[in-house]
Amino acid sequence: MTEASSGDSEPAKSWPETERDLCLRVGYYDFRAYTQLTSTGLSQGFVLVRHHTLCGIVQTTFRAGKAQAKCSVALEIALEKLGHLASIAREGQLPLGSDEHSI
């Protein structure tokens, strides 16, 4: 995505490269890895999965491992989970129903 500049001669800005590295598209699935701080001050990794269907978008969030003291470790675990979910999506349909906790 880009932002248009308002009459300036600067080129349009794009998302930081690190932001693009956290997102992946496989077929009709969009994946995004991210972290959030917990109430105890630890970092928890998550993977957001958006499945584009004819009826609309089905969105599910998967927890990636346990909360970590370092944000970089939590993000690394989330990226591993993103890769795992993307490989399942490449092989066939990713089940986003009641069995998502076992993935």
Q: What pLDDT is stored for residue 14 in this prediction?
A: 42
Contact yes or no for 33/45 (Cβ under 8 A):
yes
Question: What span, in angstroms and rounded, lies between the C-alpha atoms of 88 and 55?
Answer: 22
Asked if residue 35 has pLDDT above 80, the reply is yes
User: What pLDDT digit, counting tens, does each position of 50-87 carry?
Assistant: 999 999 999 999 999 999 999 999 999 999 999 999 99
Q: Among 15-19, 25-29, 82-86, where is mean pLDDT lowest?
A: 15-19
Token pair 């957001």: residue: 48
The residue type of 32 is R
- Which H or E element spans position 69? none
Give the chain's domains with CATH numbers. 16-89 (3.10.450)
pTM for this predicted structure: 0.73
